[in-house]
Structure 1
Amino acid sequence: MMAHTIVVGVDDSSPSLAALRWAARRAVATGQRIRILHVSGPEAVSQSAEAGGALRRAREILRTEFVCQGHRLDIETRLVFGRPLPALVEASLDASLVVVGTHKTGFVQGRVFGSRFLQLPALAHSDVAFVPDSSSLEREGIVVGVDDSSYGRAALAFAASEAERSRAELTLVRAWKGVAPAHEFAPASGAEGALARAERLLDAAAERLRGSHPGLTIRRRILQRATAEALVEASGRCALLVVGASGEGAQLGALGPVVHDTLFNLVAPTIVVRTGFDAATEIALAGAAPGERMTQAAGGRSAG
Structure 2
Amino acid sequence: MTIRVGVDGSGPSRAAITWAAKRSARDHEALELVHVVDGEWGQLGEDYADDARRGANGLLADALEVARRCAPDAPITTSIRQGSTAWELAVSAEPGDLLVVGTHKTGYLSGRVLGTRSVVVASTATSSVAVIPDTPVTARRGVVVGVAEGTPWEVAVTRGAQEAAHVGNELSLVNAAPGDGGQRLLADAAALAADIHPALVIRRRVSRRRPAEALLDASRSAGLLVLGATRADTARAGYLGSTTHEVLLNLNSPVLIARA
Task: Name the TM tier (shorter chain).
Answer: 0.7 to 0.9
Residues 1:38 and 2:35 are matched in the alignment: yes
- RCO comparison, higher one (Cα < 8 Å, 6+): 1
- Give the conservation status (yes or no) of the 8 Å contact 1:97–1:127: yes
- Give the conservation status (yes or no) of the 8 Å contact 2:219–2:253: yes
Q: Which residue of 2 aligns with 1:9?
A: 6
Q: Could you tell me which runs of 5 or more consecutive residues in structure 2 were left unpaired when the two chains were aligned.
A: 42-47
Seen in structure 2, the aligned counterparts of structure 1 residues 260 and 150 have a Cα distance that, compared at 3 Å, is closer
Q: Which residue of 1 aligns with 2:256?
A: 271
Residue identity in the other structure for 1:64: R
Seen in structure 2, the aligned counterparts of structure 1 residues 252 and 205 have a Cα distance that, compared at 3 Å, is farther
Seen in structure 2, the aligned counterparts of structure 1 residues 16 and 206 have a Cα distance that, compared at 3 Å, is same
**Separation (CA, whole Å) in 2 of partners of 1:26 and 1:138:** 16
Q: How many residues align?
A: 244
What are the equivalent positions in structure 2 for 1:1-304 lying under 5 Å apart? Answer: 4-42=1-39, 43=41, 44-47=48-51, 48-67=53-72, 72-93=73-94, 96-105=97-106, 115-176=116-177, 194-246=178-230, 254-273=239-258, 275-276=259-260
Taking structure 1 as the reference length, the TM-score comes to: 0.75
Residue identity in the other structure for 1:268: S
Q: Could you tell me which runs of 5 or more consecutive residues in structure 1 were left unpaired when the two chains were aligned.
A: 177-193, 277-304
**Separation (CA, whole Å) in 1 of partners of 2:167 and 2:129:** 19
How much does 1:158 deviate? 1.1
- Give the conservation status (yes or no) of the 8 Å contact 1:135–1:269: no
**Structure showing greater Rg:** 1
How much does 1:195 deviate? 3.5
- Give the conservation status (yes or no) of the 8 Å contact 1:5–1:94: no
**Separation (CA, whole Å) in 2 of partners of 1:228 and 1:246:** 15
3-state SS of 2:154 partner: helix
Seen in structure 2, the aligned counterparts of structure 1 residues 77 and 258 have a Cα distance that, compared at 3 Å, is same
- Give the conservation status (yes or no) of the 8 Å contact 1:38–1:80: yes
Seen in structure 2, the aligned counterparts of structure 1 residues 94 and 208 have a Cα distance that, compared at 3 Å, is closer
- Give the conservation status (yes or no) of the 8 Å contact 1:7–1:95: no
Percent identity between the aligned chains?
37
How much does 1:62 deviate? 2.1
3-state SS of 2:180 partner: helix
Q: Which residue of 2 aligns with 1:281?
A: none
**Separation (CA, whole Å) in 1 of partners of 2:16 and 2:7:** 8
Taking structure 2 as the reference length, the TM-score comes to: 0.86
